[in-house]
Amino acid sequence: MQNYIVFTDLDGTLLNHADYSYDEAKPMLHWLKQEGIPVVFTTSKTAQECRMLQHEMGLKDPYIVENGAAICQGEQVIEMLGVPYSTIKDFIDRYKERFGIVPFSDMSVEEVMARTGFGYVQAKIAKEREYSEPFLMHDEGMLDALKACAAQEGFKILKGGRFYHCVGSGQDKGEAVRRLMKRYPERVSIGLGDNYNDIAMLDVVDIAVLIPHYAGQYIEYAREGLIKASHQGSQGWRESLEKVFDVTC
């Protein structure tokens, strides 16, 4: 069973949206480790957040951070696709008043805690970006104008479960997955995600699994052979992989 590799979003997919629990997924994570199947976080989270979760879950596989900005292994960056955070912050700072942007960098740790449900340490780490800037907007009716402005300056805007994310135009989860797959050429790729910033990943994997997002609905997405999980978060994650592998964990 070692000819598979799993690429997974975290928030709202492997981790429950409300409490970040992955209890329902633990039996499947254990099974995947026993079978030697890599579990590659493919997430908007930072490298430090990913390493903490990997340590907690007992994983040592590569991981993809900040919406495809970099492919990492342990504390090393294997390949960088994104642009430096300072460049992105400069763009956001120049346009935040015009577009009513509230970036992570302007939020206190306590504000991030309130908006995410993180504890203090987790919120502090989440603010330490390297390749992207999460943000909120006062008026989402201005989103298309912001996207157009970002595209002109070499950036793009992605939508995650709680925040929008400003990233470099040359990165997305799909491109990072394609590059990492060159290191696993004989493996069948499985991708699991719940939101719009996961589409690029779901487009390029062999087997795509769509998890219903926190409101209980699916995003608008279709592709041949798409598997739609019946439940949200870690329960849907486990049950979908049980279906793929024809096992019960």
Q: Indicate if 72 and 41 belong to the same structural domain.
A: yes
106: CB partners within 8 A, 6+ apart: 96
Q: Which amino acid is at 222?
A: A
The pLDDT tens digits for 180-232 are: 999 998 899 999 999 988 999 999 999 999 999 877 789 999 999 999 999 99
Q: Indicate if 69 and 99 belong to the same structural domain.
A: no
The verdict on whether 9 is a catalytic residue reads: yes
What gap in Å lies between CA 70 and CA 51, rounded to an integer?
14
User: Taking residues 123-134, what's their average pLDDT?
Assistant: 88
The pLDDT tens digits for 53-97 are: 999 999 999 999 999 999 999 999 999 999 999 999 999 999 999
Q: Indicate if 37 and 92 belong to the same structural domain.
A: no
DSSP of 112-143: HHHHH---HHHHHHHT--SS-EEEEES-GGGH
Of 135, 168, 201, the last residue of a domain is 168
pLDDT at 37: 96
Q: Indicate if 162 and 89 belong to the same structural domain.
A: yes
- pTM for the model stands at 0.88
pLDDT at 19: 86
Domain housing 94: 85-168
Q: Is 168 exposed, middle or buried (0-12, 13-18, 19+ CB in 10 A)?
A: buried
Q: How many domains does the chain have?
A: 2
The pLDDT tens digits for 10-25 are: 999 999 988 889 999 9
Q: Are 117 and 20 in contact (CB under 8 A)?
A: yes
Q: Indicate if 154 and 183 belong to the same structural domain.
A: no
pLDDT at 4: 96
Q: Indicate if 121 and 182 belong to the same structural domain.
A: no
Of 126, 145, 168, the last residue of a domain is 168
Q: Which of 167, 199, 231 is nearest to 16 (CA)?
A: 231
User: What's the pLDDT band for 1 if we cut at 50, 70, 90?
Assistant: low
User: What's the pLDDT band for 2 if we cut at 50, 70, 90?
Assistant: low
Q: Indicate if 69 and 176 belong to the same structural domain.
A: yes
Query: Measured between alpha carbons, how far is residue 96 from residues 17, 66, 171, 209 in Å?
Result: 27, 20, 22, 35
User: What's the pLDDT band for 158 if we cut at 50, 70, 90?
Assistant: confident
More confident residue, 248 or 29: 29
Q: Indicate if 160 and 180 belong to the same structural domain.
A: no
CATH number at residue 197: 3.40.50.1000
More confident residue, 185 or 5: 5
pLDDT at 118: 84
Catalytic residue (one of 9, 11, 172, 194): 9
